[in-house]
Structure formats: C-alpha cells, structure tokens
Structure 1
Amino acid sequence: MPQPLGYQAPLEPGQTPGQTPFAPDWHDARHLWLKAGLLALWALVSFVASYFARALQFGVDGWSFSYWLTSQGAVLIFIAIVWVYCWAMNHFERQDAQRQVAQAAGDAAQGRHPDA
C-alpha cells in the first residue's frame, strides 16, 4: 500500500531527523571511479560507436556490422556493464566487511569498546 504524501518512516534508535541510513563514506573514491568508468564506457558505446558505425562496412552472417553494432551490440555491452557493476559492488562490500571485522578485532585486542 502506498504511503500518504509527506509520510516519514520512523527513526532508528539514535538517528536524528535528516540523517541518512548510510555512512558518509558510502560513496568513497573507488565507487566513484567505478561509476565514472562505466558511465564513460556506456557513453562511448551508445553515442560514439553508433555515430561511427556507418563506416564499418563489413558483413556478419549477411548483416552489415554497423547494423549489428547499433541494434544488438549496445544492448549486450549495457548488460555487461550492469554485471560488472554488481560484481564490483559485491567485491567492495566484502572488502569493507573484512576491514570492519579486522578493525573490531584490533579494537578488542587493545581493550577498546566498539561503541565507544
């Protein structure tokens, strides 16, 4: 059921209004570089390759390569971009989880409380 206009979800314990549920470093440099690179690849395939596709005049199974590139190749590249993004984000999350576990173990070894 859709929520009424102006509805705000209840706050988590310790959360103040206006706080986001994600840590401020959620989009650190590696996430931003990944997004920038994949966006550049998408723009390159979508606009540049399609613009110059007319110059690619050789056949693939009876169809010109320019037709194949613009009708099918761009879609396949987009699917590959989504797959790479999902794989990389899972990899980054595993790295962050391992770093948090190592930091908590280091804090416990030094006698610091994790919530302090």
Structure 2
Amino acid sequence: MSTEPASIAAPAAPQQGHPPGYWQRNRRLIGLLLAVWFAATFGVLFFARELSFQWLNWPFSFWFAAQGALLMYVVIVALYARVMNRADEAARQQDEAPPLA
C-alpha cells in the first residue's frame, strides 16, 4: 500500500464557447463588486461616529450596520447575477451566429 498522495490536476479555466475578453470583464466586475462590498462593510464602520443623524428613530450608523449592509450584499449578488446572465446570453448568441464567409 502506497502512502504517496495522488496527483490532482487543477481543472483548466473554461475558455471554450466564450468570446475574447469574457473572463477579463468577469474579473473586472468581481473586483468592482468586492470594492463595493469592502466600502459597505468596513468604510461605514470606520466613519460610523460621523454618521450621527437619526434614521427611522435609530442612529443611522446602527441602521446601516444592521440592515443597510445586508441589503447592500443582496444588491451586489443580484447585480452580479444579472450582469453575468446577460454576458452568458450574449456569448451563447455569438456562438450560435453563422460564421461570416
């Protein structure tokens, strides 16, 4: 019985079927949405004391940390899903288009 670990090859990125620049736009979108996530999560907490006005009879910083950040996360996920569904549909239509002779 051998104790050597089996070699596991990482799967290659699925490049076939996608137009040039598809994955670059995908990574750029992910980077932008991660920056929005970081700002919503840490930016507001860093400046929370300056956000001292009332919102629905609660301090705004408390409201944003408790509710607004969660809503922002849902918006980020929904935006990513919508943009990528459109990009996938465009790639699918480009694949189905007849080649120019």
The TM-score range, normalised by the shorter chain, is 0.7 to 0.9
Partner Cα separation in structure 2 for residue 28 and residue 97 of structure 1: 15
Normalised by the length of structure 1, the TM-score is: 0.69
TM-score calculated relative to the size of structure 2: 0.78
Cα distance per residue 1:57-88 (max 9 Å; x no partner): 11112111011011111110000000001001
Where do 1:1-116 residues align within 5 Å? 20=12, 22-23=14-15, 28-102=23-97, 105-106=98-99, 110=101
Q: Flag structure 1 segments of 5+ consecutive residues without an equivalent.
A: 1-5, 9-16, 111-116
Q: How many residues align?
A: 92
Structure 1 59/94 Cα, relative in aligned 2: closer, same or farther at 3 Å? same
Hey, what's the Cα distance between the residues in 2 that align with 1:61 and 1:98? Answer: 47
Distance 1:47 1:63 in 2: 20
Tell me: higher relative CO, structure 1 or 2? Use CA pairs within 8 A at least 6 residues apart: 2
Change in Cα spacing, 1:19 to 1:44, as seen in structure 2 (3 Å) is: closer
Provide structure 2 residue ranges, at least 5 long, that are not aligned to the other structure.
1-5
Detail structure 1 runs of 4+ shifted over 4 Å in the superposition.
24-27
Identity %: 29
Instruction: Give the greater-gyration-radius structure (CA).
Output: 1
